[in-house]
Amino acid sequence: MSKINKHLEKILSVFNKIFLTLVIVLTLSTLAIAFFPFDMKMFQNGDVGKMIMPVANAKEIYPEFVCGCCGTPLNTEKICCGMAQNMIDFIGREVAKNISEDEVVFNTVREFGFNSLAKEETKIALKTKLAENAPADAPKIVLENKSYDFGDVGQKDGIVSTVFDFKNEGKSDLVIDKISTSCGCTSASIVYKDVEGPSFTMPGHGKENPTDWSISIAPGDTAQVKVYYDPNAHGIQKEKELSITRTVDIFSNDPVEFEKQIRIDLNQLP
């Protein structure tokens, strides 16, 4: 009997070890899922390796951004305009890449600018980090002025325009490849060495902006952003006077200030 008991004890010991191992594995798996959420598509695509890094959650990222047109937080349940839809679609595509939340946020800021961020502290933190990592020979865009007031503009006056001078104060070529405006009534282009580039306006509102264009500004050179405002873009004006503010974003390869914003103000009259 003693030999049988010893044999049973060995069997129970093995079962206890197996049971303990299963408990540990299940516990670790539960913790991994809790702290490192993943998409089931990774299993379907056989890309299990991406589980190592936590992936972004679109629903958590949307409120971190505001619509460049309306200034309201992104909300898939209440999409305010075409610009908001563009931003939501972009974030969705980035999240589908199964990258981290920080990467999605940075890529979205790179696409829509610092002012698309809802929180000022996030802008400051991001710019600080970019400045710490910027190379010594980087290009640097510096604007002479950041705003212009047209004063009174009547619909009968038609399209009005102004220019903003800027300079590349860096040590390598400044490459500008995109401009966007805050409304379809406003458009902008780059003028360099007396040659004016294509016109850009607000994305997501009908007209498609150029996608295969860029211009290089040599170190020490100056250029201009030419801004146009069309008082008739929204049809016949009913109000006697409208106070208008519009913004223009210039995107470049400046590693820190990769988006620069300028503003126009005016009083629109019938």
Query: What number of other Cβ atoms are within 10 A of residue 269's Cβ?
Result: 16
Tens of pLDDT, residue by residue over 98-127, are: 898 889 999 999 888 888 999 999 889 888
Q: Does position 28 have pLDDT exceeding 70, yes or no? A: no
The dotted CATH code for 141-269 is 2.60.40.10
What's the rounded mean pLDDT across residues 231-238? 83
Type of residue numbered 210: P
Question: Percent of the chain beyond pLDDT 90?
Answer: 53
The mean per-residue pLDDT over the stretch 22-39 comes to 48
Burial-class residue 232 by CB neighbours within 10 Å (0-12, 13-18, 19+). middle
Dihedral through CA 203, CA 79, CA 127, CA 189, nearest 10? 10
Q: Is the pLDDT of residue 31 over 50?
A: no
What single string gives the DSSP state of each residue in 40-85?
A: THHHHTT-GGGGGSPPP-HHHHGGGBB-TTT-PBP-TTS--SHHHH
Q: What is the pLDDT of residues 39-94, one digit of tens each?
A: 433 333 444 333 334 567 888 999 999 987 788 999 999 998 888 898 999 999 99
pLDDT given at position 19: 56
Total residue length of the chain: 270
| CB neighbours of residue 171 within 10 Å | 13
pTM above 0.85, yes or no: no
Whether residue 227 contacts residue 208, with contact meaning beta carbons closer than 8 Å, is answered with no
**Which range is least confidently modeled, 27-41, 118-132, 209-223?**
27-41
List the single range of 110-119, 151-160, 243-252 with lowest mean pLDDT.
110-119
Could you state, in order of their start, the residue ranges of all structural domains in the chain? 41-133, 141-269
Say what the pLDDT of residue 127 is: 87
Give the residue from 104, 89, 90 showing the smallest Cα distance to 57.
104
